[in-house]
Structure 1
Amino acid sequence: MTVSAFQLEGKSVLISGAGGGIGAVLVRTFADAGAQITGTDQTLAMLDHLDLEQKLAFDLSDVDVTSAAIRAHIEHFGAPDIVISNAGYTRAERLEDVTDANWQSEMAINLNGVYAMTAPIVDAMARRGSGSLVFISSVNGLAHYGNPAYAAAKAGMIAYAKAIAVERGGSGVRTNVICPGSVRTSAWDHRLVENPHLLDNVLPHYPLGRLVTPQEVANAALFLASPMASGITGTVVPVDGGLTAGNLRFVSDVLGAARPQG
């Protein structure tokens, strides 16, 4: 199936976190499908390398600034046809590492800020009678893989998306969620420099035996946002190399070790 089959010519798309590794690929993928892209990030400088119709800068952790920026954008340009809520942030931690400040920070960026950005758009979409949103959550919102505060925020994002799907579906608004596993972006580079064997511990947990790519996340987002998925709303789609399908390490270590020899 070619990208043109998704028929996004002339559609307006707002992509948050557009300057990041996944965000830049989302921008390119939707632009290739004919969409007109508004990109958002913390600063305009983070968007300099992207070819965008419009650029917005705001910090998701400041809900008042975020909401005001989005409302002003809607007033001038109308609600976008599609929103890809991609921006997010986390730190590697376990429960014993979580502080009150860390918890508040994760919630502010990954949940409260996401709500502040999308709620005005959802209202405008519902008044118009059409719209599609795709939230980039995480496998951490489906099961525990560490990062407790981030996981709680991403689980909250899934619940929020389902609320929109159920309560605004009758107004023509569709909402779906993508839950990536580990994505091979440049964020891994410094970690692999520090520990070249890091993936030796990571990859055995993934049935596909590799990390997913930003393009694979973007492909799923393009499908869910497009008319090709017109009957799909309220779904959660893991793009995770099979991580959430089952425990490959358990199968290998426990059942493999128990297999009779000879």
Structure 2
Amino acid sequence: MAGNGGGRFDGRVAVVTGASSGLGQAVARSLSAGGARVFGVGRDEVRLKSSLEGGENAWHAADLADPAASAEVVAACVERFGGIDILVNAAGAHTMRHTAQVTDAEWQRDLAVNLSAPFFLSRAALPHLLERTGCIVNVASIAGLEGQAYSAGYCAAKHGLIGLTRAMALEFDAAGIRINAVCPGGMTTPLLENFTFPEDPDYQLILKTASARGLMEPAQVANIITFLCSDEASAVHGTVYTVDNGKMAL
């Protein structure tokens, strides 16, 4: 379980997407350990239930590529817990293809999961977050800070998510809520373990995305996200945190 919250989230409600595995799961468990009531969202209900056992948690199976799902998630959480204090947009999808071979459906899904879903969820959750002076943490990627080969849709979406974070942070600067983003590097998650490369790739281009220190564990990134959700980060707003094992410094 990532981190040790020590009760710092007692009484708070957190919506965490991608909570059935990987980084989303680590964040959900960390917030729960800190006393939050976590409303986990993912496509696999069985894995969601397993991820969120213990604590006063709930889960909702949804495919966030569907624009209607975001409003349903927020409504279900508010019905269950009465409000929302924290929104962590951790769900992601990444399809590597030669750009000329990317299908319309693949492009649309990259944008839908990685950019549109965080926007729709934030829009639906904003009235509740404003009421409770809550916070949003968007999980972008170092792909939102640089180019990555064979990842046109993913890079475009993650660059857009950083822009969305900054735009909303400015718009709600005087409202009291906090909106930040985290840009992880490579992690040992099911998304990476099940990765498929395009046909005949240039592996030298792919290696440009790797850190010399290797892959991180999801808990290492979850600890930063948990911090950003806490009162300890009360002065952190509109910031883009890079957590990448030093990759962007090279």
**Interval containing the TM-score (normalised by the shorter chain):** 0.7 to 0.9
What does residue 144 of structure 1 align with?
A: 147
TM superposition shift of 1:100: 2.2
Does the residue aligned with 1:49 lie in a helix, a strand or coil?
A: helix
Task: Identify the range of structure 1 (228-237 vs 26-35) with the bigger mean alpha-carbon deviation.
Answer: 26-35
Q: Is the 8 A contact 2:148 2:209 kept in 1?
A: no
Q: 1:163 to 1:203 in 2, by over 3 A?
A: closer
Paired with 1:191 and 1:152, the residues of 2 have a C-alpha distance of 19
TM superposition shift of 1:150: 0.8
TM superposition shift of 1:211: 1.1
Paired with 1:112 and 1:130, the residues of 2 have a C-alpha distance of 23
Paired with 1:235 and 1:203, the residues of 2 have a C-alpha distance of 25
Paired with 1:187 and 1:43, the residues of 2 have a C-alpha distance of 14
Structure 1 stretches of 5 or more lacking a match?
193-197, 247-262
Counterpart of 1:20 in structure 2: which amino acid?
Answer: S
Paired with 1:100 and 1:119, the residues of 2 have a C-alpha distance of 26
Aligned length: 237
Report matched runs for 1:46-85 at 5 Å: 46-50=47-51, 51=53, 53-75=57-79, 77-85=81-89
Does the residue aligned with 1:177 lie in a helix, a strand or coil?
A: strand
Counterpart of 1:45 in structure 2: which amino acid?
Answer: V
Counterpart of 1:113 in structure 2: which amino acid?
Answer: A
What does residue 200 of structure 2 align with?
A: none
Q: Is the 8 A contact 1:183 1:213 kept in 2?
A: yes
2:248 counterpart of 1:244: yes
TM superposition shift of 1:118: 1.8
What does residue 206 of structure 1 align with?
A: 211
Counterpart of 1:29 in structure 2: which amino acid?
Answer: S
Q: Is the 8 A contact 1:176 1:235 kept in 2?
A: yes
What does residue 133 of structure 1 align with?
A: 136
Counterpart of 2:11 in structure 1: which amino acid?
Answer: G
Paired with 1:172 and 1:84, the residues of 2 have a C-alpha distance of 17
| TM-score w.r.t. length of structure 2 | 0.85
Paired with 2:79 and 2:49, the residues of 1 have a C-alpha distance of 24
Counterpart of 1:62 in structure 2: which amino acid?
Answer: D
Does the residue aligned with 2:173 lie in a helix, a strand or coil?
A: helix
What does residue 173 of structure 1 align with?
A: 177
Report matched runs for 1:100-115 at 5 Å: 100-115=104-119
Task: Identify the range of structure 1 (34-43 vs 135-144) with the bigger mean alpha-carbon deviation.
Answer: 34-43
Q: 1:185 to 1:134 in 2, by over 3 A?
A: same
Q: 1:228 to 1:114 in 2, by over 3 A?
A: same
Paired with 1:98 and 1:190, the residues of 2 have a C-alpha distance of 19
Paired with 2:211 and 2:192, the residues of 1 have a C-alpha distance of 16
What does residue 33 of structure 1 align with?
A: 34
Q: 1:116 to 1:234 in 2, by over 3 A?
A: same
TM superposition shift of 1:47: 0.8
Paired with 1:78 and 1:157, the residues of 2 have a C-alpha distance of 28
Q: Identity of aligned pairs, percent?
A: 29
TM superposition shift of 1:86: 0.3
Counterpart of 1:27 in structure 2: which amino acid?
Answer: A
Task: Identify the range of structure 1 (84-93 vs 49-58) with the bigger mean alpha-carbon deviation.
Answer: 49-58
Q: Is the 8 A contact 2:118 2:138 kept in 1?
A: no
TM superposition shift of 1:57: 1.7
Structure 2 stretches of 5 or more lacking a match?
197-202
Paired with 1:27 and 1:125, the residues of 2 have a C-alpha distance of 18
Q: 1:186 to 1:77 in 2, by over 3 A?
A: closer
| TM-score w.r.t. length of structure 1 | 0.82
**Per residue, is there more helix in 1 or in 2?**
1
Paired with 2:61 and 2:236, the residues of 1 have a C-alpha distance of 31
